[in-house]
């Protein structure tokens, strides 16, 4: 049932799709950064009423049956305050960096949750030099 709720699209045309970026030249057993953002080409709102709540990153080594969770980042400041919606001084940007290492190539998978439009996913193959 979950697979029916996960939405995908081309991130160049859809503001909800997580964009996974990794520098070239990743080497086995060396730390590298994985950047996951939303709204790279089409901006996603970041208001009390409409925002990205969280991003999760998973990695599935090429010979593994299941993916491993790399991490989860929650975004909890969207301009809310005691004065009302969008009156607060803090807005969290819906982007994050995970630092990781792996011994094997595989697939990076990101999921994000929009409080109005639900779950979104994307993936990116990771090769090692």
> Residues 21, 104, 117, 124: which is the catalytic one?
117
Residue tagged 């990116």 (tokens): 124
Whether 114 is catalytic is yes
In DSSP notation, 27-78 reads -TTS-EEEEEES-SSSPPP-SSSS-EEEEEEEEEETT-SS-EEEEEEE---B
> Residues 15, 51, 78, 94: which is the catalytic one?
15
The strand pair at 106-114 and 118-126 is best described as antiparallel
Whether 51 is catalytic is no
Residue tagged 């998978």 (tokens): 109
Whether 83 is catalytic is no
Whether 16 is catalytic is yes
> Residues 16, 51, 78, 94: which is the catalytic one?
16
Whether 104 is catalytic is no
Whether 50 is catalytic is yes
> Residues 12, 50, 93, 101: which is the catalytic one?
50
> Residues 14, 56, 94, 96: which is the catalytic one?
14
Q: Catalogue the active-site residues.
A: 14-16, 44, 50, 114, 117
């Amino acid at each position: 049932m979950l697979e029916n709720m996960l939405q995908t699209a081309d991130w160049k045309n859809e503001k909800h799709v997580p964009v996974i970026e990794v520098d070239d030249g990743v080497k086995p057993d060396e730390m590298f950064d994985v950047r996951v953002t939303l709204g790279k080409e089409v901006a996603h709102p970041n208001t009390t009423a409409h925002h990205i709540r969280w991003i999760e990153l998973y990695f599935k080594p090429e010979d593994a049956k299941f993916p491993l969770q790399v991490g989860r980042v929650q975004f909890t400041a969207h301009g809310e305050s005691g004065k009302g919606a969008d009156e607060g001084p803090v807005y969290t940007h819906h982007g994050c960096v995970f630092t990781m290492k792996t011994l094997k190539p595989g697939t990076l998978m990101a999921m994000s949750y929009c409080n109005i439009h639900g779950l979104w996913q994307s993936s990116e193959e990771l090769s090692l030099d």
